[in-house]
């Protein structure tokens, strides 16, 4: 992998991990375009760690408040929900993706090389985003039932081309949850999801004996730094855009990428 390829892939991962356009789909298509192996696990481990750090840094105050409140059994509310309730909602919302990801791991890994299916799923993501345009949302409290349904939506987004943030935020909006709260829950829910994916990828690369060559440390480090910085900025931008304007632009983005990719990948 060259420095230029690592930089481009780092931008893609950082930008699309949190924007509702599917980072896995964009990475798979870009790696195919560059002629790189779609199962380049070590690089994916590196940039996923970067974006995990980015979202933790952005929501550090929320995470610290929830953790401190849960440990001390505080009754103070955070956005209308007690810390222990937040933990319960996040655990419940994380279960579907964990169960499906572990149960069908090999099937999901093989899906990264099917560029036509990825393109179709990008188009589906665009339609999901457009479907939220006319929704009226007011609720700030998230119930256990809503958390589970949002978690099921997250599980569906394991497939490359389906956006995790787009699907989970859209599900929350369909359930009537107010935009900013929907985004907050989605991104807090991404921490165990992205963290779990990182650990699985790291374990796979170690078990496969994939060792990073000395001449690749530079490109991988560059990709990591770029994904970290761009990922942090992407979270900031998405929150502002979502609260003000909704998802329409990102739906257009998915169609603009998905349609040409579908045409190129068609036999």
Average pLDDT estimate for 35-49: 69
Q: Give me the pLDDT at residue 73, please.
A: 66
pLDDT at 180: 84
Mean pLDDT along residues 196-217: 69
The arithmetic mean of pLDDT across residues 33-56, rounded, is: 75
Q: pLDDT tens for residues 56-79? A: 999 898 888 888 877 776 666 666
Joined together, the tokens standing for residue 11 give: 């931008």
Identify whether the C-beta of residue 224 lies closer than 8 Å to the C-beta of residue 52: no
Look at residue 212 and tell me whether its pLDDT is greater than 60.
no
- d(C-alpha 34, C-alpha 145), whole Å: 43
Selection from 59, 73, 65 nearest residue 18 by Cα = 59
Q: What would the pLDDT profile of 139-167 be if each residue is shown by its tens digit?
A: 778 899 999 999 999 998 888 888 888 99
Least confident of 29-33, 71-75, 199-203: 71-75
Average pLDDT, the chain: 82
Q: Which pLDDT band holds residue 125 (cuts at 50, 70, 90)?
A: very high
- Give the orientation angle of helix 41-58 with respect to helix 3-16, to 10 degrees: 40
Residue 190, class by beta-carbon neighbours within 10 Å (0-12 exposed, 13-18 middle, 19+ buried)?
buried
Judged against a pLDDT cut of 70, whether residue 118 lies above it is answered with yes
Share of the chain above pLDDT 90, in %: 24
- The 3-state DSSP class for residue 139 equals strand
């Amino acid at each position: 992998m060259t420095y230029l390829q690592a930089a481009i892939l780092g931008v893609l991962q950082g930008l699309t991990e949190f924007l509702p356009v599917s980072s896995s789909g964009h990475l798979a298509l870009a790696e195919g375009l560059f002629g790189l192996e779609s199962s380049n696990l070590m690089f994916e481990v590196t940039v996923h760690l970067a974006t995990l750090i980015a979202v933790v840094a952005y929501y550090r105050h929320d995470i610290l408040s929830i953790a401190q409140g849960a440990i001390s059994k505080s009754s103070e509310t955070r956005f209308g929900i007690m810390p222990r309730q937040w933990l319960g909602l996040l655990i419940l919302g994380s279960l579907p993706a964990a169960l499906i990801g572990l149960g069908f791991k090999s099937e999901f890994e093989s899906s990264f090389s099917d560029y036509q299916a990825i393109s179709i799923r990008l188009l589906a993501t665009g339609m999901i985003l457009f479907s939220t345009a006319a929704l009226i949302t007011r609720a700030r409290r998230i119930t256990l039932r809503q958390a589970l349904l949002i978690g099921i939506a997250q599980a569906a987004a394991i497939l490359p081309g389906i956006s995790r943030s787009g699907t989970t935020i859209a599900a929350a909006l369909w359930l009537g949850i107010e935009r900013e709260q929907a985004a907050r829950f989605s991104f807090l829910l991404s921490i165990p999801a992205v963290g779990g994916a990182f650990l699985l990828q790291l374990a796979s690369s170690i078990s496969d004996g994939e060792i990073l060559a000395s001449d690749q440390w530079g490109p991988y480090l560059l990709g990591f730094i770029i994904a970290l910085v761009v990922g942090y900025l992407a979270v900031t931008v998405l929150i502002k855009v979502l609260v003000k304007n909704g998802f329409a632009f990102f739906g257009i983005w998915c169609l603009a990428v998905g349609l040409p990719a579908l045409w190129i990948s068609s036999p």
